[in-house]
Amino acid sequence: MQNTYDVIIIGSGIVGVSTAWHLRGIDFAGSIAIVERDPSFSHSSTAHAVGGIWQQFSLKENIQMALYGAKFLKEFAKDQNVDLDFQEHGYLFLAEEEGLDALHANVERQRRHKADIAPLTPSLLQQHFPWLNTDGLAGGALGLSNEGWFDSHRLHSALRSAVRDWEVTLIKGSVTEIDHADTEIRSIMLDNGRRLKCGHLVNATGPNAGNLTRMARIRLPIEPRKRSIFVVHGKSAPAEMPVLVDPSGVFLRPEGPFHICGVTPAKTAGKVEDRRCDLSDFEPDRELFESIIRPTLEARLPDVKEFKIVRSWAGHYDYNSFDQIAVLGPHTRLANFYFANGFSGIGLQQAPAAGRAVAELILHGAYQTLDLSRLGFERIVENQPLEEENLI
Interaction site with ligand FAD (CB under 6 A) = 10-16, 35-38, 41, 43-46, 48-52, 174-175, 204-208, 212, 227, 229, 315-318, 343, 345-349
CA distances from 282 to 13, 85, 312 (A): 18, 27, 10
Which residue number, 37 or 200, has a Cβ lying nearer to ligand FAD?
A: 37
Shortest Cβ 80–ligand FAD spacing (Å): 19
Shortest Cβ 127–ligand FAD spacing (Å): 28
Shortest Cβ 244–ligand FAD spacing (Å): 14
Shortest Cβ 104–ligand FAD spacing (Å): 24
Which residue number, 134 or 213, has a Cβ lying nearer to ligand FAD?
A: 213
Which residue number, 8 or 137, has a Cβ lying nearer to ligand FAD?
A: 8
Among 271, 235, 291, 315, residue whose Cα is nearest residue 49: 315
User: What single DSSP character describes residue 267?
Assistant: G
Which residue number, 107 or 175, has a Cβ lying nearer to ligand FAD?
A: 175
Shortest Cβ 302–ligand FAD spacing (Å): 26
User: Coil, helix or strand for 278?
Assistant: coil
Among 207, 228, 252, residue whose Cα is nearest residue 344: 207
Compute the distance between CA of residue 142 and CA of residue 93 in angstroms, rounded to an integer: 7
Which residue number, 10 or 125, has a Cβ lying nearer to ligand FAD?
A: 10
Compute the distance between CA of residue 217 and CA of residue 211 in angstroms, rounded to an integer: 10
Which residue number, 51 or 330, has a Cβ lying nearer to ligand FAD?
A: 51
Shortest Cβ 121–ligand FAD spacing (Å): 27
Shortest Cβ 149–ligand FAD spacing (Å): 7
Which residue number, 280 or 383, has a Cβ lying nearer to ligand FAD?
A: 280
Shortest Cβ 134–ligand FAD spacing (Å): 25
Which residue number, 16 or 139, has a Cβ lying nearer to ligand FAD?
A: 16
The DSSP secondary structure of 334-377, one letter per residue, reads: STTEEEEE--TT-HHHHHHHHHHHHHHHHHHSS-SSS--GGGST
List Cβ neighbours of 4 (8 Å cut-off, separation of 6 or more). Answer: 31, 196, 197, 198
Backbone angles phi, psi at 172, to 5 degrees: -90, 125
Residue whose C-beta lies closest to ligand FAD: 347
Query: What is the torsional sign of CA 84, 202, 280, 38?
Result: positive
Which residue number, 139 or 242, has a Cβ lying nearer to ligand FAD?
A: 242
CA distances from 257 to 65, 87, 105, 239 (A): 31, 14, 36, 8
Shortest Cβ 324–ligand FAD spacing (Å): 11
Q: Find out whether 293 and 230 touch, Cβ atoms under 8 Å.
A: yes
Among 239, 227, 381, residue whose Cα is nearest residue 304: 239
Locate the DSSP E strands across the chain: 4-10, 32-36, 52-53, 91-95, 117-120, 139-143, 148-149, 168-172, 175-180, 185-190, 195-203, 222-235, 243-245, 250-255, 258-263, 305-320, 327-330, 337-341
Shortest Cβ 268–ligand FAD spacing (Å): 16
Which residue number, 15 or 304, has a Cβ lying nearer to ligand FAD?
A: 15
The DSSP secondary structure of 376-388, one letter per residue, reads: STHHHHTT-----
